[in-house]
Structure 1
Amino acid sequence: MPTEASNFNNDIMSTIYRVSDAEVNNRVLRSTINDLSYELFSKTLSKNTNTDLTRRDTSVQTGDEFCQSKVVSVEASNTRSFKQYLWKFRELKKENNKLLQLTNEMRSICTQNLKTIQNRLNCLTDLISTVCSSYLKVNQAYHNDNVKWRNERQNLSLHLENEKHLTEEIRIKLNIMEAEKKKIEKAINKLKEQRENEMKEFNANKQIKRLKEELDISKLQTEQIRQDFEAYKIYTKELLDNERRLNKELRKSYH
């Protein structure tokens, strides 16, 4: 598009230069016609004056015959000069008409080219306006997506930070439960020893039955604690897996 506009500008400038040259040539031609007309008039007047002087001289010197021959010769010369200048005048007038016609044609071409250039400029203006509007829309969409992505990344970072705190709390609770488990195991072992000692001291069936029941209850409690511990281990593993997954997603979003 810029190349076409440049070519049109070059064409119109060339046309303007041609019109200017034609107008200059027209002015020069008019000046030449005026000069020739003035020269023709001056020479005719000068020759007429010379004729009068010649007549006076010849009338004094030789008489009427010599005067008449000179007059005829001068009139013939004046007629030839007048015809010659008249022919030049007509030729120059024809050339002037041609230049006027060329000037009018150049002006018409210049006007048409100016209209074409104006139409092209209007099309370019509309195209630029459309491109600018599309650019603004794309830029606004990019800005909105960028803001949305930043908000999502910030929310993901906050969620990951919360998951880290929650994982740390679960680790602390697991450590506490592990310590409590050890205490319970020690208590169970102590109860076993105590029951063994009691079984050694008391040989009654009732006492043995009671100790067995207590042992069964302790086993149930121990099994319940073990199940709770296993459940906490599974929950902790899930939290750690979630933390790894969130870290991967966060690293991908940063890249």
Structure 2
Amino acid sequence: MLIKDINIPLNTTEFNSNDINNVKFRLNEQSHLIMALKESADRELLHRKEFEEKLAQERDRSCELQEQAEELELRLLQSQNLVASLSQTIEKLTGRGKRKPCTTSDTQIQCNRDYEIVTSEKGSNTNSCWIEDVLQNSDLKRESNELAAALRKAEIDKFNLTQRLMTILAERRNANLDFKNSKTLLEENYAQAKRQVEILQQEALENASRWSDERADFENQICERMIKEEELTRITQQLQQENCDLQKEIEELNLRRKKDAEALNANKQIKRLNNRLDEADARYKNLQAVFEAYKQHTNELLQAEKKLNKKLRQHCK
């Protein structure tokens, strides 16, 4: 299915090497694509498996948190029930203490730094009488001791809260004082900053005006410089053109000088050949003179020989 788009010739029975290479290339390409898709699918499956494991862990953790929350709610409910029961017990004990005849109006409970309760001698005697009456019932004695401890704890907590309140009030006064000082300092700083801002604004306006003038001058300088650059560019182009023309003239002069040199060399060669020709002509003339002299001498010898032969023939007759 992956290679059905390959164009296979229908009217031929043989394939050339290009068709075979094309098929191999397409098969390799499809194989690489399949491998890449398989690797991508494997990665996706691995990510999905990791996600499912994390999801299962989160579900287990959610169940544990739910169980812990239910346990905490149960403990909170038990604590609330215990607090309500203790509150009812304290209210009952408080009601019983109020119904007992005792004169403790002059008794004062004070808390010092070591959290000790100091009472007057009269209050102690009255409390002793009241305690002797209470000791008749062991349950009331235990409950009264617990109530006294609770009252002492309440007095201690009250003292601690009072000290804490005083500390908080002192800190608040100090904080208010610091706030006022900070406010005054901030107002002074704000006024100073405002003055500085006004000064800076004035300087900014002056600088803006000066910068505007400088910018105008700078723009004029830029325009002049651009004009000069254009003029220099034109002059440069003109010089380049002149340089090109001079280069052409130099090339022409070099070519002409080369031709003149070649012509001069040709003239020298012609002159040298002429000299050699003159020398050859002179030698030819010399040889010709020698030949003429030799020819004349030969003719003379021939005439002499003829005369001698004639004399010999005459002598023989």
TM-score higher than 0.5: no
Higher Cα radius of gyration: 2
Give TM class, smaller chain.
0.3 to 0.5
Identify the structure with the greater helix proportion.
Answer: 1
TM-score, reference length from structure 2:
0.35
TM-score, reference length from structure 1:
0.43
Which of 1 and 2 has higher RCO (CA within 8 Å, sep 6+)?
A: 1
